Amino acid sequence: MTEPGRASDEDEARLVEISSALADAIVDHLPTWVHRCIAEVATQTGHLSRQLEMEAIAAGQAVVEDLAPQVRELLAADIDDQLTTPLALLRTAVQYPTRALRAAGVPLPDRAEFDSEAFPDDLYGLTPANFAEVHPELHQPGLEWGAAKAFVHLRRREAEGRV
């Protein structure tokens, strides 16, 4: 039985499982998200071409090569050592579809002042607000990870007398 104010070994192990599942799901859905971003913007602006389709595939592969290790490293780290979140890492992925769209000459949309200030590198308004915007299948693992992390964090702080 768990002492009050202390995360059990089972809670810690469950967090590791949930973190691993979230990392796998993110990596699985990243290429599709990049491709979808490019296709949606290009279709809306009438710039979808075979060449851009090929660029979308390449961008999807590049994002996995570059971002997957970071996502896995972050989610494998102890929660007290996590200096960012997986959603924040996902938000950096907008650079991949943005580069492809810019290279194809897709015109930039008008953006709200807040969006331009909050996400200056996101020229096409692609930044996901939540996991589900990347893919609906990320919603549940994202919630589970957040809840498990918060639970373990709270228990650790209680054990230290900091809550």
Lookup: tokens for 1: 């039985």
- The string of pLDDT tens digits covering residues 97-148 is 999 999 999 999 999 999 999 999 999 999 999 999 999 999 999 999 999 9
Enter the tokens of residue 96: 């991949």
Residue 4: is its pLDDT beyond 60? no
Both tokens of 77, joined, read 């780290």
* pTM of structure: 0.89
Q: What residues contact residue 110 under an 8 Å CB cut-off, 6+ apart?
A: none
Average pLDDT (29-46) is 96
Q: Average pLDDT, stretch 80-96? A: 96
pLDDT greater than 90 at residue 162: no
Tokens of 81: 């050592």
pLDDT number for residue 96: 97
